Each structure stands twice: as C-alpha cells, then as structure tokens.
C-alpha cells in the first residue's frame, strides 16, 4: 500500500491510500481530483503547493494542471 497525503500547517487537506506503488498517472489523478480543488489563489490559505524532487512530481501535465488552476 501507498499513502498520498496533502497537508497544510493545520490539517490534512487530502488523503488517498493506494494498493501498490504510486506512479505519475496516479499522482496526477490525486492532484487533479483531490488536492487542487482544495487549493486557493495566493495569498489565501492553501495557496502554495510544495513538492519534492520525486520523478512523479515532474511532467508537462502536472505543470499544466497547476498553472491552469492559478
């Protein structure tokens, strides 16, 4: 099993438990359907997304989703 959390300084914003490992397709779906809907435009709360340098965090579709969300 794998755990995908999105957390803020005060609470868990989104959480998914997946059987198996997380690949870019699964991460992109989590971002699109569970994380970005909870995000706001800066400087509102939940307006900054921080990702580490994991390979699944890179890709044109992820950049496109984040840029289009605001």
Whether 63 has a pLDDT exceeding 80, the answer reads yes
> pTM here?
0.91
Q: How many domains is the chain built from?
A: 1
Is residue 36 situated within a structural domain?
yes
CB 4 within 8 A of CB 21: no
Is residue 14 situated within a structural domain?
no
Q: What are phi and psi of 68, to 5 degrees?
A: -75, -25
Q: Residue 58, exposed/middle/buried by CB under 10 A (0-12, 13-18, 19+)?
A: exposed
pLDDT at 10: 86
Tens of pLDDT, residue by residue over 1-30, are: 999 999 998 899 999 999 999 999 999 999
| Domain boundaries, position 56 | 23-70
Task: Compute the distance between CA of residue 45 and CA of residue 42 in angstroms, rounded to an integer.
Answer: 8
Is residue 34 situated within a structural domain?
yes
Is residue 11 situated within a structural domain?
no
- Report, as an integer, the average pLDDT of 33-56: 94
């Amino acid at each position: 099993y794998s755990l995908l959390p999105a957390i803020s300084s005060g609470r868990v914003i989104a959480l998914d438990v997946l059987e198996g490992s997380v690949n870019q397709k699964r991460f992109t779906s989590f971002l699109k359907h569970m994380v970005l809907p909870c995000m706001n435009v800066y400087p509102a709360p939940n307006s900054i997304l921080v990702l580490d340098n994991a390979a699944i965090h890179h890709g044109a579709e992820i950049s496109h989703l984040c840029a289009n969300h605001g």
